[in-house]
A and B are shown apart, each in its own frame.
Chain A
């Protein structure tokens, strides 16, 4: 028969006589007591033993109990803390509660008072464990930066949780706007490296000739304009996570250097002979098919297998149709608050249109549309007529160039237009948007519902 585990109680008390007395008072309970006499030893013991309850004296020889509570907040452990003090002032109690204590014992107290308090604290700890189990095993409607409770997105949450504490490389795929950076950030925040740096690098947004320096850094004089030493993303991410977004855009020469870095953790700054070693966890992402890139010869196969250890595929928004309204409501609330508007929800017709739409730009497109409506419209309910025509699919012609959609989604296009090649239409649309935004590329990208890196990449293609 399995024996039920005793609860663990850490007693942080510098007086040996008081510690012995409390231990005797608690001897009738099923509690294993660990005793330390100093605050720092208490924190170490919390990390080592993960106690259920901490009985913490406020006046300790090294650091006081309030400081222990503050440092405890930074640890992953979450014991229920009862503070013990002889001071007995209301201010001390309030300060301790603010710093995270569950209850407060004022000396002197009798055995029964101590046992009741410890029993309550253990009950509180059981409730916390129960809530955690519930959260871990049942549907969540948000997770780090994600919003949604549909089965495809729940699967993503589970993979992130399982992969977070590992050192294994993660490869995220998903359409543009599906939340690849949110996913990378969630993996970092959920894992043991959360207190270390998270460095994100968009391989498409940086000119190829500067990319090596961005990743590995350079030394003074390495190239024209290198007026001093500069740390690269590899150095800055030491101990933490390096996120390489749009990895498929990295050129082949740099891919071979990245391969060595991934394999050995070592690299050389541009212009330097010195080999440096760092501890970095790699997360890569692309909106393209990585195996397709390998087949095309634009992505090294060996690098692919190094990076593609734990694959995470982010579902497009249309596959999470039950989440669309939840996400829309969240952004509607946020943007209405930001813009000082009174929008409270969506009409039934507007909801139907939004749920039926295929959202090629995914969550980013949904965000932009909601923002657009909140800025330009007034009211409490978003109605069908406020939605851009492309959502209802009644005016596909107008969706050819974003310019028409941006300026007047309802105006019929009657003028004859000479037929242009598709790339030129795209170029015109992008340049018009940039001009309309006074040269601000990120703003133009937001209006065009693409990422800024897409614009940079396309512009590079036209000039190259």
Chain B
């Protein structure tokens, strides 16, 4: 179980941020991050249904970008893979990989919520 959480959440990175801006403030910001990932995930899923290449690339890029910054390593990786497939014009593969992004995103959100939102009482503002 511990190993899986490490994959979804880079604790070392987040610990560095906590030292900079305090755990409470970071928890508030992570609340925004979780909300944004949810929004981009919905948009990515809709773009996949409509087979819109540019939108798939943009939404996957947005998820990759935030996930990388907040230490959501696994989500960063899979969203990045969808973005690359989209840029290479491999639309069918990119659309198929959206399911994986959704799955990993759900687990990432659960992990971050458990670690920061539930633990600190912070919520998305």
Contact = CB atoms under 8 A, between A and B. Distances in A.
Contacts of B25: 24
A169 to B, nearest CB: 53
B116 interface: no
A289 interface: no
A17 B20 CA distance: 16
B43 to A, nearest CB: 11
A86 B16 contact: no
Interface string B85-124: 0000000000000000000000000000000000000000
B29 A25 contact: no
Contact of B36 (A16, A24, A107, A110): A16
B46 to A, nearest CB: 16
Contacts of A59: 58, 61-62, 65
A18 interface: yes
B58 A86 contact: no
Contact of B29 (A20, A86, A87): A20
Nearest to B40: A15
Given A15-B36, A86-B61, A24 B68 contact: no
A324 to B, nearest CB: 61
B13 A108 contact: yes
Contacts, number: 54
A94 B106 CA distance: 37
Interface in B52-80: 58, 61-62, 64-66, 68-71
A21 B69 contact: yes
Contacts of A18: 65-66, 69
A111 interface: yes
Nearest to B57: A59
B65 A17 contact: no
Interface in B1-57: 13, 16-17, 20-21, 25, 28-30, 32-33, 35-36
B115 to A, nearest CB: 16
B21 A17 contact: no
Contacts of B58: 59
Nearest to B76: A108
Contact of B66 (A15, A25, A27): A15
B17 A111 contact: yes
A367 B8 CA distance: 74
Contacts of A21: 17, 21, 29, 69-70
A108 B21 contact: no
B11 to A, nearest CB: 15
A107 B17 contact: no
Interface in A81-96: 86-87
Interface string A278-317: 0000000000000000000000000000000000000000
Given A21-B70, A25-B20, 15 more contacts: A15-B66, A16-B32, A18-B69, A20-B28, A20-B32, A21-B69, A59-B61, A59-B65, A86-B64, A86-B65, A107-B68, A108-B68, A110-B16, A111-B20, A111-B21
Q: Which 10 A-B pairs have the closest CB atoms?
A: A17-B32, A86-B65, A17-B33, A24-B21, A108-B69, A111-B20, A108-B68, A20-B29, A16-B32, A21-B29
